[in-house]
Amino acid sequence: MFCGIDWAEGHHDVALVDQDGRLVAKRRIPETIEGFSELVEMLTAAGDNAEAPIPVAIETPRGLLVAALRATGRRVYAINPMAVSRYRDRHSVSRKKSDHMDAMVLANILRTDAHAHRALPEDSALARALAVLARAHQDATWRRTRISNELRSLLREYFPAFLQIFRGQTSGVSSREARAVLRIAPTPASAARLSRAQIAAALRQAGRRRRVDDLAVTIQQGLRQPHLQQPSLVEQAMGEQALALLASLDAECESVNRLSEAVTQAFQQHPDYAVITSFPGLGDMLGARVLAEIGDDRDRFANARAIKAYAGSAPITRASGKSISITHRHVKNNRLAAAGFSWAFMALTNHPPARGHYQHRRDSGDGHPAALRHLFNRMLGQLYHCLQTSQTYDPAKAFPSQSPEAA
């Protein structure tokens, strides 16, 4: 027996088919305890048992229904909706569609091509919780960057002197000092009236402890420099807009800090923490993001090539006739690819063997992104090997041509 579930927000359509593709049972259930009990009874009546549970195909890898199904120990296949659309055309040329038909299509996908699809990995509860936290932290970081860029673009239109003052800050307008000063002086006119004591008080409230008075003097002098200005009413309106963006930026900065602590705490409890953080460039945050995307199910990837393809670091070959092209992958786990780009950049900055490998790729004709991707591809394969064998990173084995012993 094979089960297909067409997921929806308010209800789910369930279809059971046998090995010949005949419909055995169908039902529409709500996403409640009663609805899940109906599903379990339906599967039990079809021959489901603990030794041979009926596999389930569904179009989403998350949600309460998926969590409940995974808790029963059965294999759950998350089928891409685009793939389901292609399978649907095999059974109907008129392009008709219904929830019941989609549930049958999902069940038939398992009946005919289960070997071509992958069940959801059997990650531990800690790894799945870490995935939630790491992705939330990454989303909050991206939102903070977007709002910061919007605020910077707005300040360029009416308050460029403010950007000039905080240009040397690592986080720019997202820094605590910049946000504290902008909060009390959102326009050039109000900024010019600030006293040194007001600026120093704002900096201390933001958490500044060293050289506060010197920085207050520098900021006051910068704010009082003559510069071009918008009309008074327009400037006041832009100041109100800046305060609105600042409120959103403050919220996102607070979210990033809170989630960062939660991610670090969860990651340090994981058994793979020592192995992952032994690699150059992988600290608590980047290491947590990598673990969140690859999981801790050792059977999830058949080999290192599989995990490299999943991350998009391995090239893809397209051949047709006499035409052959080798390019980077566009279909990949974008979160893992983004973490890998940062990982490779931090590794080449702080680890001489990684820097030597990167430079060798640049000398061979690769551009900066291609060389970084190649370095990430190599180190990801090394990480896969270390996780499989429970070894920590060894630079002499990872880059033998760069080690003094090999030289």
Q: What percentage of residues in the chain have a pLDDT greater than 90?
A: 66
* Strand ranges inside 275-320, DSSP E: 316-320
pLDDT at residue 83 tops 90: no
Q: Specify whether the CB–CB gap between 393 and 280 falls below 8 A.
A: yes
pLDDT at residue 242 tops 90: yes
The CATH number assigned to the domain with range 2-116 reads 3.30.420.40
Interval 348-401: pLDDT, tens: 999 999 999 999 999 999 999 999 999 999 999 999 999 999 999 999 899 887
Check residue 56 and give its pLDDT. 94
Q: How far is 74 from 342, CA to CA, in rounded Å?
A: 37
Query: What are 104's strand-pairing partners?
Result: none
Q: Got the DSSP string for 17-33?
A: E-TT--EEEEEEEESSH
Q: How far is 95 from 89, CA to CA, in rounded Å?
A: 7
pLDDT at residue 6 tops 70: yes
Name the more confident of 350 and 94. 350
Q: Specify whether the CB–CB gap between 104 and 90 falls below 8 A.
A: no
Q: How far is 53 from 88, CA to CA, in rounded Å?
A: 26
Interval 181-224: pLDDT, tens: 999 999 999 999 999 999 999 999 988 888 889 989 999 998 88
Q: Compute the average pLDDT of residues 289-315.
A: 93
Interval 26-44: pLDDT, tens: 999 998 899 999 999 999 9
Paired tokens of 39: 């599903």
Name the more confident of 94 and 124. 124
Q: How far is 6 from 60, CA to CA, in rounded Å?
A: 9
Check residue 82 and give its pLDDT. 87
Q: Compute the average pLDDT of residues 77-105.
A: 83
Check residue 49 and give its pLDDT. 85
Check residue 170 and give its pLDDT. 66
Check residue 377 and give its pLDDT. 94
Interval 157-178: pLDDT, tens: 999 999 988 887 667 888 999 9
Least confident of 113-117, 246-250, 306-310: 113-117
pLDDT at residue 254 tops 80: yes
The single residue listed with the structure tokens 């789910």 is 12
> Cα 287 from chain centroid?
12
The C-alpha R_g of the chain, in whole angstroms, comes to: 28
Check residue 407 and give its pLDDT. 45
Element (H, E) at 333: none
Q: Using 50, 70 and 90 to split pLDDT, how confident is the model at 406?
A: very low
Q: Decide: residue 312, CB within 10 A, 0-12 exposed, 13-18 middle, 19+ buried.
A: buried
Name the more confident of 93 and 213. 213
Paired tokens of 5: 């579930």
Check residue 52 and give its pLDDT. 85
Check residue 235 and give its pLDDT. 93
Paired tokens of 145: 């960057």
